Chains A and B, each alone.
Chain A
Amino acid sequence: MTIGSLPSRYRISIDPVRCMECERCIENCPYGVFRRDGDRILVNSRNCTACHRCIACCPRDAISLEEHPCDYRSHPIWTREAREAIYNQARTGRIILAGMGNALDYPVIFDRLVLDACQVTNPSLDPLREPIELRTHIGKKLAKLDLRRRENGDIELRTALTPNLRVETPIMIGHMSYGAISLNAQMAMARAAKETGTFMGTGEGGLHSALYPYQDRMIVQVASGRFGVNIDYLERGAAIEIKIGQGAKPGIGGHLPGEKVCEEVSRTRMIPLGSDAISPAPHHDIYSIEDLAQLVRALKEATEWKKPVFVKIAAVHNVAAIAAGIARSPADAVVIDGFRGGTGAAPRVFRDHVGIPIEAAVASVDKKLRDQGIRNEVSVIASGGIRGSADVAKTIALGADAVYIGTAALVAMGCRVCGNCYRGLCPWGIATQRPDLVQRLNPDAASEQVANLIRAWTLELAELLGAAGINSIESLRGNRDRLRGYMLDESLMQVLDVRQVGA
């Protein structure tokens, strides 16, 4: 024996007094933790992923879960994660795949920023009595309009307008593809988007016909694999998004393993059943910022300049300069995905180490665009680690027009952030294509939960705005005066363009 068996990550225990042997845990656990042996239910904790499905369905609260029941010798550098990654790679010689967002303990800038409220000298607003405008428009805002008076007195608008998306709340749902997640999960979010007047992304998985009723609320994605992309798809979407990069894995492509390419996924992506769907790292027709502008134009030309086109990039070191390049193309919005962005599967080394936080990226993009006088040329949509309405408010104050949520929407449908999405066995019916698991997610109930989440955050945003004496989301945008840095260093506050608390 060289490495031997490692300590179990979780320990599941069943309280024999409370357990009534109903076997719901056995039925619900797709990882095979539970089995019946005579008149007992036996547990194999090694299979556990802490998805909590068993705990959620146990009628007697008989199940308990403990993380890291067996410690290593504690060490500040040689953490459990560092040691276990080495054991894994020493055995396999392979790249470690991981799910969900960045799992390293970086400081969260959001939690070092505080919001403002009115006291005495300027009155706060009461959202119950006074309208707080949360509607916003995503797209180009023209620098000037050419208006002429006709001889008969009518006013003629001579400037050609560009299409905008009208969003009733600055909270949109980001791109999670059919294939990475189930159709029921997409259906639930699409209904929620329609109900709350917002939009959701398709991801690079095509648009399943079941989602056609919601197509005016869908942003269709064009990524490097061009899966599911044809003229029909482009015309169905409310907007088109070119995916250049993703916060969870900047600089690399995507790879949907053939096991997840079931018949419906195959039809929607337009690839053969069971074949690997490989999205290359670059778009093969984009090797420069000029090429990107050409793809933007190609998409607009194909759809007769009726659809807004977004460009999504991962937040990396030069994000501001890249965004400024995008703003000079006909693109209508730039989406910036921070290094905490989620994913179904990404190499762990990328997920945890590549990219920069969304807070700094949004602030520097907004500043660069304003410095160059082109902030009106694109909307800025921020994503990657938005956990609540406070994060939304802070992101907008740092310069974003709207946010995309991803993980938060999945959590609203039951996801416990166990991070095993890449295994395709999601017990909540979200990140899986196995029919028995998918049917566990009721799209009606789940859509109500996602809609509730968006409504709740929207209500909170209205309260935050009212308390700050602001009656419109437009007035919060880039309003750094409503933010203060708490325990942030001076150089970071310069990047964020915020002042110290007390200042």
Chain B
Amino acid sequence: MAKQVAIDGKGVHYTPLNQQIRKAVADGADEIVISNILGQRFIGDGLRGNVTIQLYGVPGGDLAMFMSGPTIIVHGNAEHAPGNTMDAGKVVIHGNAGDAVAHSMRGGKVFVRGDIGYRGGIHMKQYEDHYPILVVGGTAQAYLGESLAGGLLLVLGLNGPVQAREIGSGIHGGEIIIRGDVDDACLATGATKVPLTEEDRMRIAPVIREFADDFGLDPEPLTGAKYTRIVPASARPFVGKYTWE
């Protein structure tokens, strides 16, 4: 039988809170339900394991930073940089999230039902079986996918068209896929639009289904929709900038 642990987060500083989480994981908890979260940073920071954490409230910045394995489900909004430098695991946010969501994420998934702030998916990178995926249900602000080096950044625009400026500024790997059309003027230097192939569509369909499943949405209108795929114009933006002494 799944072992569930309940923690009341009311007024608890993040360090003792994380200590309680670590202890519950060490004691073999399968699910940890934390209530009354209000602004505590670093929840799940560096946490390992297969546990699922249900967070009720609004966690502070750097949620799931350096996390490697667990699933965190936020029943509320999140602050800046959830999934910062995350290695594996999953963060599901039933609300909006702040700036630099999934910053430098190397693996795992961050799903945001609502909107995200500026510089979403910044410098995500991939390596062998580490393949980070950020899916945003709503829209994103400017510098989406800045310095992107790997992984998949998918924006579904469920609350209206995505009008972020400077998309893919400094992108040198990975891909940004946005539902609907994206105006050329919204792309930053170094980013380029390419058609979404059937193969691409097949590849993103399971991700869309998983996202829809997590949030109780109907995936079919999304899997068949029109998407814009944005990739680096060059994998080596610095070639041609330097000469030897």
Please give the residue numbers on chain A whose beta carbons come within 8 Å of chain B beta carbons, in ascending order: 88-89, 92, 94-99, 225-226, 229-232, 234-235, 255, 257-258, 266, 270-272, 275-276, 278, 280, 284-285, 294, 297-298, 301-305, 347-348, 419, 422-423
Contacts and interface: CB of A to CB of B under 8 A. Distances in A.
A89 B242 CA distance: 10
Contact of A230 (B87, B149, B170, B173): B87
A302 B127 contact: no
Contacts, number: 126
Contacts of B48: 231
Given A95-B243, A230-B106, A234-B66, A301 B130 contact: no
A190 to B, nearest CB: 24
A285 B62 contact: yes
A284 B236 contact: no
Contact of A272 (B42, B61, B127, B147): B127
Interface string B103-143: 11010000000000001001101111010000000000000
Interface residues of B, number: 50
B66 A302 contact: yes
B52 interface: no
A305 B46 contact: no
Contacts of A88: 243, 245
A230 B170 CA distance: 24
A347 B244 CA distance: 9
Contacts of B241: 94-95
Interface string B32-72: 00000000011001101000000000000110011110000
A contact patch SS: mixed
A278 B85 contact: no
19 contacts: A88-B245, A96-B243, A96-B244, A226-B104, A230-B85, A230-B87, A231-B87, A270-B127, A272-B173, A275-B173, A278-B172, A278-B238, A280-B170, A294-B62, A298-B42, A298-B45, A301-B42, A302-B42, A302-B45
B150 A272 contact: yes
Interface string B142-185: 00001101100000000000000000001011000000000000
Given A226-B85, A280-B123, A231 B173 contact: no
Contact of B238 (A89, A92, A231, A255): A255
A94 B242 contact: yes
Contact of A271 (B22, B80, B127): B127
A206 to B, nearest CB: 11
B40 to A, nearest CB: 11
Nearest to B143: A284
Contact of B235 (A225, A229, A276): A276
B100 interface: yes
B123 A284 contact: yes
Interface in B213-245: 235-238, 240-245
B147 A285 contact: no
Given A258-B236, A275-B235, A301 B18 contact: yes
B4 interface: no
Given A226-B123, A231-B67, A276-B237, 8 more contacts: A94-B242, A96-B243, A229-B104, A232-B68, A266-B127, A271-B149, A278-B238, A284-B100
A419 B66 contact: no
A419 B125 CA distance: 31
A285 B41 CA distance: 14
Contact of A231 (B46, B80, B84): B46
B29 interface: no
A278 B149 contact: yes
A230 B244 contact: no
A346 B177 CA distance: 35
A294 B41 contact: yes
Nearest to B238: A255
B242 A97 contact: yes
B134 to A, nearest CB: 14
A256 B102 CA distance: 23
Instruction: Return the 4 tightest CB-CB contacts between A and B, nearest first.
Output: A302-B46, A94-B243, A226-B104, A98-B245
Contacts of A303: 46
B15 A305 contact: yes
B91 interface: no
Given A226-B104, A271-B149, A276-B236, A92 B243 contact: yes
Given A297-B42, A302-B45, A423-B244, A278 B147 contact: yes
A293 to B, nearest CB: 11
A285 B66 contact: no
Given A271-B149, A285-B84, A231 B68 contact: yes
A33 to B, nearest CB: 16
A214 to B, nearest CB: 22
A8 B38 CA distance: 68
Contacts of B87: 230-231
A225 B172 CA distance: 13
Contacts of B242: 94-97, 347
Contact of A301 (B45, B125, B172): B45
Contact of A285 (B14, B103, B245): B103
A255 B104 CA distance: 16
Contacts of A225: 104, 123
B68 A97 contact: no
Contact of A234 (B19, B22, B46, B243): B46
Contacts of A232: 68
Give the interface centre of B15, B46, B65, B170 by most chain A CB atoms within 10 Å.
B46
Contact of A284 (B19, B42, B65, B103): B103
Contacts of B80: 285
Nearest to A84: B245
Contacts of A257: 238
Contacts of A258: 236
Contacts of A419: 245
Q: Pick from B45, B100, B119 the residue with the most CB of A within 10 Å.
A: B45
Nearest to B125: A271
Specify which of A272, A285, A348, A423 lies most central, judged by the most chain B CB atoms within 10 Å of its CB.
A285
A66 to B, nearest CB: 20
Contacts of A305: 15
B25 interface: no
